[in-house]
Amino acid sequence: MEARHLRYALALADHQHFGRAAAALGIAQPPLSQQIAALERELGARLFDRTARGVFPTAAGEAFLVRARQALAEMAAAVSDAGRAARGETGRLRLGFIGSALLELLPSLLNRFARGHPDVRLGLQEMSTCRSAAALLAGELDVAVGRGAPRGAGAEDLVSVTVGRDRLVAVVGAAHPFAGQAEVSVEQLRGEHLIVAPADEEPLVAARLAALLGEGADSPARTGGITEARDVHTIIGLASCGIGVGLGPACMRAAARRGTWVCEVSPRVELPELVMSFRARDRSPVLAAFLDTTREVCPGVGGQLGDRRVGR
C-alpha cells in the first residue's frame, strides 16, 4: 500500500464520484477505479459502495478514511518538520559563555535569535573560556563565547570568530584612593592588590595581564597580591568591598553598581577579543541560523566566516 492509495480513497470519498474524483486528482477515471480496486483487494474488504446515487464509503471505508487522513497529515508534517529543522527553525542550541558576554553581546544576539527562531530550545550556561572549549569538543555545547580563540588539543577542530573587543579597565570600591580618578597607570596598578580572572580558566587573559604588568606579576617582587575571581560580577563585588583593584573588560561598566568606581587604564590595553567558537564539522542548521544572526548583529563576522555555508 502506498500513499497514493490513501490520497485516491480520500478524493473518492470527498467527491462521491469516480469521474470527478479522478479529475480532481488530475488522472483519468479508469486508473482511479483500478487503484481503488487494488486497495480493496489488498485490504480484503470493500471500502466503497457504488450506488446509483453516488459512491459512499462502507463501514470499513469510514474506518479506513479516518486513519488515512491522519496518515497523510503525518506525512505532510514530516515534510514540514524536516524543512523547519533543516532551516534551523527547530532544534536545540547549547551555548556556553563567559559572564561578561552577557553584558553587551548576548542580550541583543539572543533576543534577535529567539525572536526569529521561537521553536529552538536554547540551553545557556555561563562558564569559563577553557571549560566552554572543552565542552564544545566533548559535544556538550554547540557554541562557546569566550576571550581569545581556544588553543591546544582539539583546537583545530574548532572555528572561532571575533565578535567583540574590549579594553582593560580597573574597578575599585568608593573608598579606594583611585575612586574619582578618570584613569590609572599601569605603574600604579603594579603596587595594588589585583583581582583578576583565574589563570587556569582564562589563560589568554592572564597572559595578557602578565605581559602588561611585567613577567613577575604574581611573584613576590610585586607589591600587592593577587585574588582570582571567576567572573566579572565577582570581580566587581570583591573590588567594591575594598579587597583590591579589579581588572576586566570595559563592558564591566555596564555592571558597575553604586559604591564602585571604574577607571580607564593608561596606556590603553586591549584584552583578548571576545570570540565565538563552534565545531568546524558541525553541520547543524540551528548553528548555521545562529551564525547568520551573529553575522547580522556583529559587523565583521561575515568576513571572517566568508561564504561558509554551515548546515543544509
| Chain contacts with a copy of itself (rule: CB under 8 A) | 1-4, 6, 43-47, 49, 58-64, 66-68, 70-72, 74-75, 77-79, 81-86, 90-91, 283-286, 312
Q: For residue 234, state whether it binds DNA (rule: CB under 7 A).
A: no
SS (H, E, C) the chain: CCHHHHHHHHHHHHHCCHHHHHHHHCCCHHHHHHHHHHHHHHHCCCCEEEECCEEEECHHHHHHHHHHHHHHHHHHHHHHHHHHHHCCCEEEEEEEECHHHHCCHHHHHHHHHHHHCCEEEEEEEECCHHHHHHHHHCCCCCEEEEECCCCCCCHHHEEEEEEECCEEEEEEECCCCCCCCCEEEHHHHHCCCEEECCCCCCHHHHHHHHHHHCCCCCCCCCCCCEEECCCHHHHHHHHHCCCCEEEEEHHHHHHCCCCEEEEEEECCCECCCEEEEEECCCCCHHHHHHHHHHHHHCCCHHHHHCCCCCCC
Determine the Cα–Cα distance for residues 129 and 126; give it in Å rounded to an integer. Answer: 10
Q: For residue 283, state whether it binds DNA (rule: CB under 7 A).
A: no
**258 or 281: whose CB is closer to DNA?**
281
75-94 residues in contact with DNA (CB under 7 A) are none
**29 or 188: whose CB is closer to DNA?**
29
Q: For residue 113, state whether it binds DNA (rule: CB under 7 A).
A: no
Q: Which three cell numbers mark 239?
A: 573590588
Q: Which three cell numbers mark 138?
A: 566533548
Q: For residue 28, state whether it binds DNA (rule: CB under 7 A).
A: yes
Q: For residue 58, state whether it binds DNA (rule: CB under 7 A).
A: no
Look at residue 54 and give the partner it binds from a copy of itself, DNA, none, a contact being a CB closer than 5 to 8 Å depending on partner kind: DNA
CB of 10 to a copy of itself, least distance (A): 11
Q: For residue 281, state whether it binds DNA (rule: CB under 7 A).
A: no
Q: Which amino acid is at 79?
A: V
Query: Are the beta carbons of 196 and 228 closer than 8 angstroms?
Result: yes
Q: For residue 29, state whether it binds DNA (rule: CB under 7 A).
A: yes
**54 or 216: whose CB is closer to a copy of itself?**
54
CB of 154 to DNA, least distance (A): 16
CB of 59 to a copy of itself, least distance (A): 5
> Which of these segments, 30-38, 115-123, 129-137, 247-255, binds DNA (CB under 7 A)?
30-38
**195 or 289: whose CB is closer to a copy of itself?**
289
Q: For residue 4, state whether it binds DNA (rule: CB under 7 A).
A: yes
CB of 78 to DNA, least distance (A): 17
CB of 15 to a copy of itself, least distance (A): 20
Look at residue 26 and give the partner it binds from a copy of itself, DNA, none, a contact being a CB closer than 5 to 8 Å depending on partner kind: DNA
CB of 132 to a copy of itself, least distance (A): 22
Determine the Cα–Cα distance for residues 69 and 94; give it in Å rounded to an integer. Answer: 37
Q: Which residues bind to DNA, rule: CB under 7 A? A: 2, 4, 17-19, 22, 26-31, 33-38, 50-52, 54-55
